[in-house]
Structures are given as structure tokens and as C-alpha cells.
Structure 1
Amino acid sequence: MAGLFSKLKEKLTKTRQGFVDKVERIFTGATKIDEDLYEELEEALIQSDVGISTSMELVENLRKKVKERKIADPLLLNEVLKENIVELLGEKIELKLNDSGTTVYLVVGVNGVGKTTTLGKLARHFRNEGKSVLLAAGDTFRAAAIEQLEAWGQRAGVDVIKQSEGADPAAVTFDALQAAKARKTDILLVDTAGRLHNKVNLMKELTKMKRVVEREIPSAPHEVLLILDATTGQNAIQQVRIFQEAAEVTGIILTKLDGTAKGGVILGIQGEARVPVKMIGIGEGLEDLKPFEPDQFAEALFGEQEEEE
């Protein structure tokens, strides 16, 4: 676990520089805790893609604790802000599993967020836990999406259930469910089309796929996982709202956290969209998808920065 923590810390360098360092400069540069400091902090949080209402909430909570604890030294604010961030991120929430048969996850997200890549990494994650996994190539519209998923399936060591390009995604889902039940597969990961330009069609398609899943396995889908790209910042929060409406998202996988200064968006997602982040992507490798641990994330962002110098 210590190895994972130091890796996380290293991968969050850009976010730390773009977010935490900015905030710490405000605290170290202040001579007293006043309205100017709070305003400057709120602005820094908004600029770090935390989101307006979440930034206001964090500053308001900070203000309350400063009053309650009679804090006068600005240098003590860092610890209180970190405490507020841990509270906002909440408890670790595991991916739901079906105890009495195949667990089915519908995986949604716009094109370009790394959805296919994440499906491959998710498959590998479950394989590493000793579970059997099947992938369903339900994104039948994007050119080469099926081949791309097959390539990731090979890397992860799992089979892909597919039809031809342009096939009905619900039919592919049905085939995959039959295969999963026949093989007594532990986990079925269903890819979906990532088109957002026509929300009505997207909603219809996802609703149809969900109906097929529910009919075959009444307790399924056990999760509808939305893949978000951390580098898109505030745009990610907007995507949550659209997919919430279209697909009743139950959890988020936030990718590309290692390559962005916009990791603060994770706070905006939790604070404004109220959908739990369940896994994070912190690199290109097959093993670089990890369960999201809020405490560890906050510690990696804020913890012991002097020692890194």
C-alpha cells in the first residue's frame, strides 16, 4: 500500500502544483485571517476546477471551523482545508458486486475520454482479483471501436463478445449476457456508444440496453459507470449531469489524473454532482486503474510536501 501511495503522490504532482501550491501560497502570504483571504481562496479553488458552489461550500466550512476553534494563524488553515476536503470526498465506496451470479456493469462516457482503454484496465483489475471477466462490444457505431476493445481484451486476457459494425447494441448486450450466464462469468463489462450530439438517441439506446440487462438478470445492471477525463476540468461536471439524466449513473471512473493540473475537478464532481468517484486512472499502464481512496487522495495532495524537496 505504501508503494501505491508514493505512486499516487508522484502522479498527482501537476494537480498539486496547480491546486495545492496555489492555496498554500495564499495561506503563507497572509498576515491575518480576513475577508480578503477567504475571497482569494475561493477564487483559487474556482480556478482549480473545483466548481463554484463546491468552492463556496469549502470556504464556508473553513470559515465556520476558524470561528469555532478560534484560529488566528493563517498557516493553520491548510490542515483545516484538508480536513474539509476529506469530509467532502466522503467514505470509500466500493463497486457493487452480485453475490448470486454475474455482475453486470454498463460503461458510459463521451468519445475521447479513454473509455475503451479503461474497460481493458477494469477487466485486468478484476482478473487480478481472480475473477472471470467478459467484455461486450456495445459501441457498434464508432469506426474501429470493436477492434480497439478486442486489442485491450487480449492485453487483459479476456474474451470480447461482438457483432459487426453498425449492429444493434442491445442485441450485442443480449449475446454477451447469454455467454456470461452460460460460462458462469463473474463480471460482464458492457461498452456503450459515446455520442452526445443527439442526447435523445443516446438515452433511447441506453434505456434499451438496460431493459435487456434487467430482463436477463433482474438485479442488473449493478453499476452504470461513467468514464470522465480529468483533463477536461469543469466540462466533466457537465458530462455527469447529462449522463445522470440519460443513464442514472451510479459511479464515476476519473481517468488521466496523472497528466493534468485539473485534478481539483474531483471535488467538484463529488460536491456538485453527488456521484461517487469509485476508481481513478493514474497512468497509461494496464495496472494504473485503482480504487479511489478519499483519505489517501487528500493525503497524497497535501501530505508532507517538504519531504519531497
Structure 2
Amino acid sequence: MFSFFKKNPKPELDSVPEIAAPVVEAPIEEDAPVALPAIAPAEAKRSWLARLKSGLSKTSSNLTTLFIGARIDDDLYEELEAALLMADTGVDATQFLLTELKRCVKDQKLTEAAQVKSALRQLMIKLLEPLQKPLELGRHQPMVMMITGVNGAGKTTTIGKLAKHLQAHRQSVLLAAGDTFRAAAREQLTIWGERNNVSVIAQESGDPAAVAFDAVHSASAKGINVVMVDTAGRLPTQLHLMEELKKIKRVTAKAMADAPHEILLIIDGNTGQNALMQVKAFDDALGLTGLVVTKLDGTAKGGVLAAIARTRPIPVYFIGVGEQIEDLQPFNAEEFVTALLGDASD
């Protein structure tokens, strides 16, 4: 398993295993967070990257074939514009990439299609890098995470996967079944709790905000590190349900000052520009701190991340390419663009 978090070095620092990974050496202050690098065999990493590339293969094919034997002219730019729009990149991000690409071609006097493709690759990496930020652990005790998203985005499954990742980094976890509208959601969360040996706070019926309140108090009393509050899936247009999310946030703050510390939106990578609309709506209502993009394993186009980077550059903590625990991994801009356009040598 190869998660990537930032973690406060104070708790159990001496027991943290030494992990060989490229890090930037710098003096660490007493209270500064440290990066916990990825933990996984190289083979597992290659396997996961292969699944990511497979999930984005449709977009990758549309983009990369444009540069095969192509001339650098208006026709190439028009075809690239169409391919980016079809990949759900959106008008703003597409125009930004095309403008910057033309500038690079002119300034660097690029004459070959492979050079233009390489320039596009670097522009996309630069555009997506602001989204690449680790989730910080150890700043709060407990850290309270509010998990939101529309029905079908993979919210409950993602909570289970995140719980496993957190446990791998020696974090105790408590789940709060705040989706009281759908009985199956409570049952699904309970199953994930049993799989991970994690307790679940739930009520047969009742106020989701009250469930969150109880969970925070229970975690504080028991010394649990992380509380994850599930919420009912809803569309941004369901205003009464969005108001309920705001209530959960307010009540959680009453249970613990400055909570929730993380408000995550789970978005389905197949929903294209709808995902951007969800990000805007949930961010306006709640003030999102991070995103998790799921289901990049089928017909996902991937370009919506560029649209998010241009419009609402909220950190993408994780992306998912399948149903298994290890299929949810930290977002890395260069890896993602490599899945779309190949590496620098291609």
C-alpha cells in the first residue's frame, strides 16, 4: 500500500520505519509536518499506473494520435482543441493550454510534432501541480473529516478505503454514519467498519448532525485520531439537503472547535463537466478542503481535472482506479499526465 500523507512528527516519531524514497532534504522544525512517503513494492506501483493508463486510454489515444506525423499548423491546433474539449477539459482550460502552447512553439522555435507534444505535456503538468497536495495528519486530536458527494460517486466505498490507508499510518479511526436517509448506506458503512476493525457510530433514524456530534465526542473521549463523517448523497440543486450539510458542519464545530478540519468531496471521474459543477456548488456551500476522484477505470476522460485546476484549484488528495483498497492512491500530476500523453521519451 502506498499512501502519501503529511504527519506531525511528534507522535511515535522514533517508531516510524525508515522508507527509501526521494525527499527534499531540509531542516525540520519541531512542529513542522513531515512527509510520509509511499509504501509499496515497485511492481505494485507499476501495476497501479498501468490501470490508470488503461482507464484514461480513450482520451490518451485521441490526444497522442494527433501528433503522429503531424505538421505544426492551424489544423493541428484545431484538432487538439476538439480533443481537449471531448476530454472534458472545458473551454477555459482548453483555451489556456492552446494559448500557452502556441506561445511555447513560437518562443522555443519548435518545428517537430514530438516537441509540441512534449511542450503540451509540461504545460499540463504545471497546470495540475497545484492540485497535488498531501493530506496532513496529526494537527488535531481527533481530526474530523466530513465526506460529501452525490449518490453513485463511490462515497461510502471511498470512506472504507481511506480508513484502511489511515490505519496503515498508525491512525485510529471512527466512522459516523451520517447518511440517515438511506438504510443501505448505514449498512455499507458498517460492513467497511467490520472489514477494517473500525467502530461505527450510527442511529436507526435521526438527525445526521446529531450522529456527527456524538461521533466527535466519542472519539475525543477514547483518544481516537480520525473521525470520518459520512453524509447523505445529494445533488447541488437539492437545496434543502445542502442546508442540512451546512447544519452538520455547524453542529460539528460545536462538538469541537474548528472542526471539521477536512471537508472532502468525492466525485465520479466519469461525470465530466458535471463534476466541475459539483465542485463549485459544494465549495460555495461548505468550503471544500480536498477532493477524491473515483472511477478512473472505465470511460473516464480525465480532462475535468484541468478544468478544476483553472476554476477551483482545490487539492486532489486521492484518485481511484478500481474497487480494491490499493486502487485508491495519492494524486500525482506527472503520473496523471503521463497516463494521458506518455512520458517525456515517448
Q: TM-score normalized by structure 2?
A: 0.83
**For 1:287, what is the secondary structure of its paired residue?**
helix
Q: Which residue does 2:74 correspond to in 1?
A: 35
Deviation at residue 14 of structure 1 after TM alignment: 3.8
CA distance in 2, matches of 1:15, 1:57: 25
Q: Is the 8 A contact 2:56 2:296 kept in 1?
A: no
Of all paired residues, the percent bearing the same amino acid is 45
The answer to whether the aligner puts 1:217 opposite 2:256 as a matched pair is yes
The reply on whether 1:155 has 2:160 as its aligned counterpart is no
SS of equivalent residue, structure 1 residue 90: helix
Q: Tell me the number of residue pairs that the alignment of Structure 1 and Structure 2 aligns.
A: 305
Q: Distance in 1 between matches of 2:275 and 2:92?
A: 15
Q: CA deviation at 1:15?
A: 4.5
Partner Cα separation in structure 2 for residue 69 and residue 13 of structure 1:
30
Distance 1:197 1:24, change over 3 A: closer
Give the CA deviation at 1:7.
2.3
Out of 285-294 and 94-103, give the one that drifted further: 94-103
For 1:126, give the aligned amino acid.
L
The one of 197, 208, 214 aligned to 2:247:
208
Which residue of structure 2 aligns with residue 110 of structure 1? 150
2:228 aligned with 1:196: no
Letter in 1 for 2:192: W
User: More displaced, 113-122 or 256-265?
Assistant: 256-265
Whether the 8 Å contact between 1:95 and 1:278 is mirrored in structure 2 is yes
Which range moves more in the overlay, 191-200 or 215-224? 191-200
Q: Which amino acid aligns with 1:132?
A: S
Q: 1:164 aligns with which of 204, 221, 239?
A: 204
1:12 CA drift (Å): 2.3
Higher percent of residues as helix:
1
Whole-angstrom distance in 1 between the partners of 2:280 and 2:268: 15
Structure 1 residues 254 and 226: alpha-carbon distance in aligned structure 2, compared to 1, 3 A threshold: same
How far apart are the structure 1 equivalents of 2:236 and 2:343?
45
Displacement of 1:175: 0.7
SS at match of 1:96: strand
| Aligned equivalent of 1:232 | 271
**How far apart, in 1, do the equivalents of 2:154 and 2:56 lie?**
23
CA distance in 1, matches of 2:140, 2:283: 27
Amino acid across the alignment from 2:316: V
Counterpart CA distance in 2 for 1:217 and 1:159 is 20
Tell me, in whole angstroms, the C-alpha distance in 2 between the residues paired with 1:188 and 1:104: 5
Provide, for residues 136-179 of structure 1, a one-character-per-residue CA deviation record: whole Å limited to 9, x for no partner: 000100131111110111112211001113x1011101110111
Structure 1 counterpart of 2:58, one-letter code: G
CA 1:24–1:16: 2 relative to 1, 3 Å? same
Offset, 1:305 = 9.8
Q: Residue type of the partner of 1:295?
A: E
Q: What CA RMSD, in Å, does the superposition of the two structures yield over aligned residues?
A: 1.9
Amino acid corresponding to residue 165 of structure 2 in structure 1:
H
1:134 matched to 2:174: yes
Amino acid at match of 2:110: I
Query: In 1, distance between residues paired with 2:265 and 2:97?
Result: 25
**Deviation digits for residues 178-212 of structure 1, max 9, x if unmatched?**
11101111110000111227532123211111112
**Any conservation in 2 of the 1:199–1:246 contact (CA below 8 Å)?**
no
* Offset from partner CA, 1:41-89 (integer Å, 9 cap, x none): 0110000111121111111111111111011112211111110111011
| Distance across 1 between alignment mates of 2:57 and 2:345 | 13
Quickly say closer, same or farther: Cα 1:17–1:99, change in 2 above 3 A.
Answer: closer
Q: AA paired with 2:139?
A: D
Q: Distance in 1 between matches of 2:43 and 2:307?
A: 28
**AA at the equivalent of 1:54:** A
Instruction: Read off the aligned partner of 1:174 and give its amino acid letter.
Output: F
Q: 1:292: how far off?
A: 1.1
Q: Does 1:45 align with 2:51?
A: no
Q: Does 1:87 align with 2:134?
A: no
Inter-CA distance 85–41: structure 2 relative to 1 (3 Å threshold): same
Structure 1 Cα separation of the partners of residues 106 and 117 of structure 2: 15
After superposition, the Cα gap between the structure-2 partners of 1:16 and 1:222, relative to the gap in structure 1 and judged at 3 Å, is same
| Contact 1:124–1:287 (8 Å) recurs in 2 | no
Q: What secondary structure does 1:12 align onto?
A: helix
Q: 1:7 to 1:295 in 2, by over 3 A?
A: same
- In structure 2, stretches of 5+ residues that fail to align are 1-39
Report the more deviating stretch, 257-266 or 117-126: 257-266
Aligned residue among 174, 178, 188 for 2:213: 174
The alignment's TM-score, normalised by the length of structure 1, stands at 0.92
For 2:299, which of 253, 256, 260 is the aligned residue?
Answer: 260
Give the whole-Å Cα distance in 2 for the aligned partners of 1:256 and 1:239.
Answer: 16
Residues 100/265 of structure 1: CA separation in 2 closer, same or farther (3 Å cut): closer
AA matched with 1:21: S
